[in-house]
Structure 1
Amino acid sequence: MRQDRPVGELLREWRHRRKLSQLDLAIQADVSARHVSFVETGRTIPSRSMVIHLAEHLGVPLRERNRLLVAAGHAPVYRERPLADPDLAAAREAVEQVLRGHEPFPALAVDSRWNLLLANAAAEVFLDGVDAALLEPPVNMMRLGLHPGGFAPRVRNLAQVRGFLVPRLARQVARTGDPELSALLEEVRQYGEEAGPVADAPTDIALPIRIEHRGRELCFFSTITTFGAAFDVTLEEIAVEAYFPADEQTARHLRKGVQ
């Protein structure tokens, strides 16, 4: 667990991460630059509403907003519960419905650290035959996709996939400052050489992946859907990755069902 640091130091770190000056933040948040300076240097302890206000303008994730609040001496305001919590039953059912509705094509839901939350039956394309140790909870899909014991050996365009995923994870680390993601990034970088980064557009919404499955080569592109939730950490961090057939052969094979 990270050591607690003063709220001003944490806010300054987020401001630097967003490449904003104190004046930039002050203008965006409609507060004085002097007040921003006093908060960052610890001369002023911000109120709960001010912490939330500045965090909103800095685009701080809900999990980290709670950390800012605690550092300022306030109670967290954003709830975090496991997806299996009874209070999230309706949300879980909604995600499950999205996954089922995508069949016979693969779809899965992950959290912000790429841990698998839910998957439809067709996602077996990726889980089949991987090292059992990698399927011990929590199953991490970034690790599973790039680890030599995962499904990486079955990916025919692995260099291209690595060239997309590793820089994407690096950007996520830079954006969030999450130490667990940082450790994951260092880990996956040990699995193989990185190809040149894949351009953000158009592959951010159409990453091709060619994977061998039971003697056939299947080709997919993927899209990611996130759900905004103003007051719930768990729901804010859910992402649904849906895989679509990139050719008619793949579509026909999956519609018939994997034998």
Structure 2
Amino acid sequence: MTIVASGPAASTVAPADKGVGPLLRAWRERRRVSQLELALRADSSARHISFVETGRSRPSEEMVLRLAEHLEVPVRERNALLLAAGYAPRYPETPLDDPALGALRDGMERLIQGYEPYPALVVDAVYTVVAANRGITMLLDGVPESLMAPAPNAMRLTLHPEGLAPRIRNLREWRGHLLAQMERQIALHRSDALRELYEEVAAYPVPQEAGGDEPAESVAYFALPMRIEHEGRILSFVSSISTFNTPMDVTVAELAIETFLPADPATAKYLHALVM
């Protein structure tokens, strides 16, 4: 599966009824940082931070970016803060299929192919699959086309009753892990699209018999595995998620590469046998 353009993302728009002060205060409270602590981090004063948050002082563009960095504000929301303060957005949002991101696309393609036969994929901020290798294609064998087009979503593919969910032997545990992951992201990002996706997948029915079975032999997993049935075998994977360091583009900042590594020797042996 080659890299494709992701679906439309939410545009960067500053709330009309809020200036930069209330937005910064909301991010500070979300991060559970006091005005004094933020001031120390940003080489400022608690008094100045208070004035900025109440609108008594207009922060410079540099100060907005400095506070956003120390509050770990996502790149998309840094643009919103700049707009609310009366400045132009600093970070572009380049479509993934733009020629300017050609090197990025090629690099991600080589990276996920390099993980084969282990599954690996690339998703955007709302889990739209923008690239996947043959290991993922193997796991998705038999999933109906309605879930694959026009743009497959990793959460829907995994948790939908017609997707992978019936084949995941520890569905309740894995479902809980995925929903908790989304809850953390919702707490960190202001994303209506992500919240809508969460509400959708959280409402999918869970079969009474889902999960609870254990492997015949006791296996000491080093992380919560996804145990999935494939052609009569139970394969076990643990996932790892990577993002780009110090991204300067909204699109790049919201990409994540997820790899699934074998959680036991039997899974590794089976996957390597497929490519021999």
Alignment partner, residue 24 of structure 1: 37
Higher normalized contact order (CA 8 Å, seq sep 6+, divided by chain length): 2
Q: 1:69 to 1:177 in 2, by over 3 A?
A: same
Q: Give 1:52-91 correspondences, 5 Å limit.
A: 52-91=65-104
* Distance in 1 separating the partners of 2:151 and 2:119: 19
Q: Which amino acid aligns with 1:126?
A: L
State the Cα distance separating 1:123 from its structure 2 match.
0.6
The structural deviation recorded for 1:220 is 1.1
Q: Tell me how far 1:135 sits from its aligned partner.
A: 1.5
Return the offset for 1:175: 1.4
Structure 1 unaligned spans of 5+: 196-202
Is the partner of 2:234 in helix, strand or coil? strand
Identity of aligned residues (%): 52
Moved over 4 A (4+): none
Q: Of 112, 134, 153, which residue of structure 2 is paired with 1:99?
A: 112
Alignment of 1:148-167 (within 5 A): 148-167=161-180
- Could you tell me which amino acid in structure 2 is paired with residue 97 of structure 1? R
User: Which residue number corresponds to residue 28 of structure 2?
Assistant: 15
Please report the TM-score for the alignment, with normalisation by the length of structure 1.
Answer: 0.89
The aligned counterpart of 2:259 is 242
Aligned to 1:221: 238
User: Would the aligned equivalents of 1:206 and 1:223 in 2 still touch at CA under 8 Å?
Assistant: no
Q: 2:152 maps to which residue?
A: 139
Residues 172-220 of structure 1: per-residue CA shift (max 9 Å, x gap): 1111232222222222221246x9xxxxxxx9x8330111122322111
Q: Which runs of 5+ in 2 are unaligned?
A: 1-9, 211-220
User: Root-mean-square deviation (CA), in Å?
Assistant: 2.3
* Structure 1 residue 150 displacement after superposition: 1.6
Q: Are the structure 2 counterparts of residues 230 and 244 from structure 1 closer, same or farther at C-alpha, using a change threshold of 3 Å?
A: closer
Q: Given the alignment of the two structures, is residue 168 of structure 1 paired with residue 181 of structure 2, yes or no?
A: yes
Q: Which residue of 1 aligns with 2:125?
A: 112
Tell me the amino acid that sits aligned with residue 246 of structure 2. Answer: A
Change (3 A) 1:210 1:111: same
Across the two proteins, how many residue pairs are aligned to each other? 252
Separation in structure 2 between the aligned mates of residue 127 and residue 54 of structure 1, nearest angstrom: 43
Which region of structure 1 is more displaced relative to structure 2, 53-62 or 181-190? 181-190
Q: Alpha-carbon deviations, 1:111-168, whole Å to 9, x = none?
A: 1221111111111133222232221233211222111122111101101101211111
Which of the two has greater helix per residue?
A: 1
Q: Counterparts of 1:159 and 1:125 in 2: how far apart (Å)?
A: 23
1:206, 1:241 → 2: CA distance? 15
Indicate how the Cα distance of structure 1 residues 227 and 207 shifts in structure 2: closer, same or farther if over 3 A, else same. farther
Equivalent residue for 2:200?
187
CA contact (8 A) 1:219 1:245 kept: yes
